[in-house]
Amino acid sequence: MPLAEIIAGKCQDCQYQEMDNYDELLPYPQKIGLTAKGENVLTAYEKLEFEKRWPEWARHFENCIQCFACRKVCPMCYCTECIASKNEPRLIPQSVGGKQNTVWQITRIMHLAGRCIDCGECERVCPAKLPLRRLTLKMRQIVNDYYKYVPGLDPRQDLFWSSYSKKDPEYLIFKPEEK
């Protein structure tokens, strides 16, 4: 059976099959590469017309049951008290519903900006089958495009959230035309 048929999707999409830093590198039977399934999950999604994207996400967010498995499995979600559990003040609506779920998931993705290592576990464990990796990959792409930072790639690089330069763009907050 071809390896590409049994290996996890996130491994097929992995852009870092050749690394500089590792403890031990196991022999890889074949180089699968970015395009083993035809294209990267994000590239395929971005072919969807812009106007059709939000209705699709609204449908996905409707299905979320706020089980927080995506947060629990995430190696970068290690807060002692998650914002979704805070009661005073309650920042994330506790009831389940399309709008409330959207607030929760967008908050989570924003918190993972510059931290998400694209392990894909949040998507794997989601019982509602939300395609969460599209969101996390997009956020990784934005952070890399604007700030030249890829979480987990270079241990010598200053952490994204704890470093500041006057030259940093503010695109995550303002659109360029609003500056």
Give the footprint of ligand SF4 on this chain (CB under 6 A): 64-71, 73-77, 79, 82-84, 105, 108, 111-112, 116-122, 126-128, 130, 136
Report, in Å, the least distance between residue 47 CB and ligand SF4: 22
Is 41 or 74 the residue whose CB approaches ligand SF4 more closely? 74
C-beta closer to ligand SF4: residue 37 or 138: 138
DSSP 118-161: ---HHHHH-TT---HHHHHHHHHHHHHHHH---TTT-TTSPPTT
Among residues 30 and 127, whose Cβ is nearest to ligand SF4? 127
In the complex, least distance from residue 59 CB atom to ligand SF4, rounded to whole angstroms: 13
* CA gap 110, 27 in Å, rounded: 36
Asked if the peptide bond before residue 89 counts as cis, ω within 30 degrees of 0, the response is yes
